Amino acid sequence: MLRNKLLTTSSLVIIGLISIIACNSEPDNVANDDDDSHVAEQVKADGPITFTEAQDAAGIDFIHLNDRRDSLIPEDVGSGCGWADYDNDGDEDLFLINFAGPFLMEPEDVAKRDGNKLYRNNGDGSFTDVTNEAGLSDSDWNYACLWWDANNDGWLDVTVTHYGGAKHYQNNGDGTFLDQTDASGLGEIDSFLLGLTAGDYDKDGDLDVYLCGYVEFDRVRARDERPLVAGRPAVWTNPVSYDALPNILLNNDGNGVFTDVTEAAGVTNPTGKSMQAIFCDFNNDSYPDLYVGNDVGTADAMFKNNGDGTFEDVSSISGTVDPRASMGLAVGDVYHNGGMDLFSTHWVNEDHALWKNQASGEISETILMEDVAPFTGILEIKSTADVGWGVDLVDFDNDGHLDIVLANGSTIEDELTTEVLKDPKLLPQESKILRNNGEVHFDDVSESAGAFFHKALVTRGLATADYDQDGKMDIAVILHSGKATLLKNTSKDTGNYLRVKLSGTASNRYGIGARIQVKTSVNTYTHESVLSSSYLSTNSTIAHFGLGTASEIDSVTVTWPNGNETAIESPEINSLLTVKEIVSE
């Protein structure tokens, strides 16, 4: 949610206080090593969930934007990142997305700068930059990445959104990618796109893709007609000032070639100014529904899948009509009742939402959600200044309950420094780790989680994976105008776990849309395999289950998108379980 809008007197006082407080924090995301060492020395990482910054030791060297801002809305939405085993060697590789230069820089100059980076996981905690040899060295005004198997060949492809549309790269299966933007049909799109998601909405065995259109923003007008205000070019970061762009649903022919079916399917969302969307089955009928997080001015949209290739807008009926501006989205079974709940992040003076699924695990004709954030401690954690972006519901300490990670960073400029006239900075904020106490009450454990959570930064995209395969989920974070951060989970006294990798045959090869149920003597855990649960980012497709004190697993049952079931009895605990779809003759 990006805006410099007309404020009431009380709001101006709040924003002024935010600015004053921020002056005591380092507003530059590219902090020097001495500052980082000083913070680390002062912080004790002795809580139930802890992380250490591992990007330097891992060989990850990436700076987002790495230049001045022009105080324009296309710059401030930020970029994402994605985990994917692109080479199928068994460990998670990392892709980092770059908004490569100021928005008023000439495109040919932007193309000469550092762009997106692909880091191959070496399997020993370190990474190697393989961007150029992979063919993914694109320098543009880029936003989101989606790792997905578009042509259903068992190799993850990647799609990247940018200011003028989307680019699609097909995995060749040999460590390289082929630009298939035009051949896939995505080259026909000319639109300011942010988040995207994929799911098999028509259950034909391949993945379809939904792209979020944001706002109509005229770069030439911003360059040539922007007036001076108080000695500097006017700040054009308010989405209210611009018309919304429609979203796009592309149907897959099975080979990674797409047809626009947006209007026929009923999911245009023309006034949304959408930032992120996610396919997920919220009413347990096996058809993925579609939730769209919209920026200021339009409530989020909940589209129920009718099962015939069309959707119904049930936003009002579902209870998710909400004037708050949404950015990040995350899904998970928070209540252990078999239904997928939803978390959405919001802007200044807007509480985050935890939408409890009232259907539980039962099939329902309707979708009904209730925002239970006021009863779970979440309202006590978010300050009025916080702006949440990347988010995920993950059991970081393996105690059997989903925790929350929040990437924070303001969209308001620090106007109390002279630097604002030549190099305006956004107000930095501290990110958060919220621990589920087992009764769906979230405690802020950031203070004892490690040095990163004591740093005021401007973060945006976030993605999770167990990159070192130690049974604990790690985090990658994109810093706006700063260094990408790799957070290694160093939590002690963690519980047992199970990792589940799906291999579809009749269903899509990565089992997107499948439900995984893990039963132990302690609890039953349910996970739906979804893509793009965060903001502009892609998490690992391997499902992670924290199992707490359970010493053994009774069973694992996978319900595939086409209804097939695969059951595994007594799999080994603290391991990676690969489940292959078996189709009966």
pLDDT tens-digit profile of 368-405? 999 999 999 999 988 889 999 999 999 999 999 999 99
431 three-state secondary structure: coil
pLDDT at position 168: 98
- Strand 576-580 and strand 496-503: the pairing is parallel
Burial readout 123-135 (b: 16 or more C-beta within 10 A, e: otherwise) = eebebebbbeebb
Distances (CA, A) of 215 to 144, 191, 243, 296: 16, 9, 6, 11
User: How many residues does this entry show for the chain?
Assistant: 585
506 burial via Cβ count (<10 Å: 0-12, 13-18, 19+): middle
Strand order in the sheet with 329-332: 329-332, 341-344, 353-357, 369-371
418 three-state secondary structure: helix
List the structure tokens of 259. 């047809």
Query: Distance (Å, rounded) from C-alpha 231 to C-alpha 3?
Result: 20
pLDDT at position 32: 46
pLDDT at position 26: 40
Instruction: Note the pLDDT tens digit of each residue in 13-28.
Output: 333 333 333 333 444 4
Instruction: Note the pLDDT tens digit of each residue in 425-460.
Output: 999 999 999 999 999 999 999 999 999 999 999 999
List the structure tokens of 205. 């065995």
Query: Distance (Å, rounded) from C-alpha 541 to C-alpha 545?
Result: 13
List the structure tokens of 418. 């002279």
List the structure tokens of 568. 């595994």
- What average pLDDT does the chain have? 93
In the 3-class helix/strand/coil scheme, how is 311-376 assigned residue by residue? EEECHHHHCCCCCCCCCCEEEECCCCCCCCEEEECCCCCCCCEEEEECCCCCCCCCCCEEECHHHC
pLDDT at 5 > cutoff 70: no
Share of residues in the chain with pLDDT > 90 (%) = 87
| CATH ID of 51-497, from 2.40.10.220, 1.10.3720.10, 2.130.10.10, 2.60.40.10 | 2.130.10.10
Amino acid at 304: K
Instruction: Note the pLDDT tens digit of each residue in 187-221.
Output: 999 999 999 999 999 999 999 999 999 999 999 99
Amino acid at 256: G
Domains of the chain by residue range: 51-497, 498-580
Answer with the residue of higher pLDDT: 6 or 473.
Answer: 473
pLDDT at position 420: 79
- Strand 289-294 and strand 301-305: the pairing is antiparallel
